[in-house]
Structure 1
């Protein structure tokens, strides 16, 4: 029989408070309830509450002042999913500084499933961009973007040299692209994902898959993204 993983109480408290910040119950500048009040609310001792608050401080969601309590400093990153999704624009619009780190740029033949997604023949050249997205220096998502190499000549150099996918695609002749489809589900963080995202193994991640196409409707990117569940609020914009 599989043994269920038990969520630490301090982690459950941190997630509950983070969700309330995301729901604007507490906004930047607000003071959180005292340790004693939170201990009463959650039925735990103050040490457990202190552990939860420290985790939120580490995530830069709150700050503490000795003798004054804990204050909200930021809300989870708002990330709209619409017909046109641009990482840098989304993060800047939320008042944060965007950054992407290249983990690996991989070249190999496409599997039959990958080929079907991108409407290319099996074993066609495939370029995969594995990376990490950050907002104000905090990791918020891991991603793997698949590109049809023959359809996008020069994509490897462009991804290596440019800071974003949009600029890289422009260098390959794609001036605009739109989202064709998006699927959203939940995943538990693996050990390596937890390492990159600075979360616990088994922590909840929001998993999305998406397909983007150029102005002629040809698929130019199939992406998979694992968002840190406590740090990002996904909003669905009109896709029509």
Structure 2
């Protein structure tokens, strides 16, 4: 029986590993397709599928007329401090920040959400799901929760204003701080991997956070899943943010 060579998944993973370890350096041009087929022991159709997957993941780029190159996908250094802001984090590193709303709804607060916001369980909260991008590459997806009593028309204001900071300001909250941050890792679900352009089962960073006004009263709780190979977190130490790593499975 004729040898079919390695599968496209195996080929993708081998090339991906060489990019991650630095054997294939940023901006390096890949050899020709026949050379790659020999190098990775695969057939041309499998190679092309592997390369297409790596392009969609942001690890390779195709320059027409020149070839395929290792992408300089920037490793985002996301600074978490007392005044953490998504757009400012990206803009300070020369990255274009953007986002999209995936869903909005009013739901009863779970015990975990209620505890974070300092409200009673089953109290109504606004829940919003979003996806964030850096230079059009997806880096995070998540949910944010706000008390409907304190922010009665938040969805409408969120659609009118360009950021949650401006929304808070419209309610008279001129400044706010990160009260608590919880970080842990787990494997990406199939849907998370698809939305973040990751392989199913790849590791993601989960970040749960509570923001509070200057009186220390919680104003927002969110949980975001970040593409682990595209971001690192730096925690400032000259502010009162509390970093924890415990998990709470109540949803």
In 1, the alpha carbon distance for the partners of 2:61 and 2:120 equals: 53
The structure-2 alpha-carbon separation of the partners of 1:105 and 1:38, relative to structure 1 and needing over 3 Å to count, comes to same
- Deviations 1:143-183 (Å, cap 9, x if unpaired)? 10111221223322122222322222222222211112212
Q: TM-score, normalised by structure 1?
A: 0.78
Quote the residue 1:92 is aligned against: 91
Deviates most, 167-176 or 214-223:
167-176
SS in 2 for 1:160: helix
Aligned match for 1:31, one of 22, 28, 31: 28
1:124 aligns to 2:123 (yes or no): yes
Quote the residue 2:54 is aligned against: 56
- Deviations 1:126-159 (Å, cap 9, x if unpaired)? 1111111112222211110111221223322122
Q: How many residues align?
A: 225
In 1, the alpha carbon distance for the partners of 2:41 and 2:66 equals: 18
The structure-2 alpha-carbon separation of the partners of 1:111 and 1:13, relative to structure 1 and needing over 3 Å to count, comes to same
Quote the residue 2:242 is aligned against: none
- Deviations 1:34-92 (Å, cap 9, x if unpaired)? 5769986xxx3366776554433333443345566524343233322222211111122
1:75 aligns to 2:71 (yes or no): no
CA RMSD of aligned residues (A): 3.0
In 2, the alpha carbon distance for the partners of 1:18 and 1:170 equals: 44
CA contact (8 A) 2:19 2:25 kept: no
1:145 aligns to 2:144 (yes or no): yes
Q: TM-score, normalised by structure 2?
A: 0.75
In 1, the alpha carbon distance for the partners of 2:152 and 2:92 equals: 31
In 2, the alpha carbon distance for the partners of 1:26 and 1:176 equals: 42
CA contact (8 A) 1:110 1:125 kept: yes
Q: Which has the larger radius of gyration?
A: 2
Quote the residue 1:4 is aligned against: none
- Residue 101 of structure 1 and its aligned partner are, at CA, apart by 0.6
In 1, the alpha carbon distance for the partners of 2:235 and 2:25 equals: 24
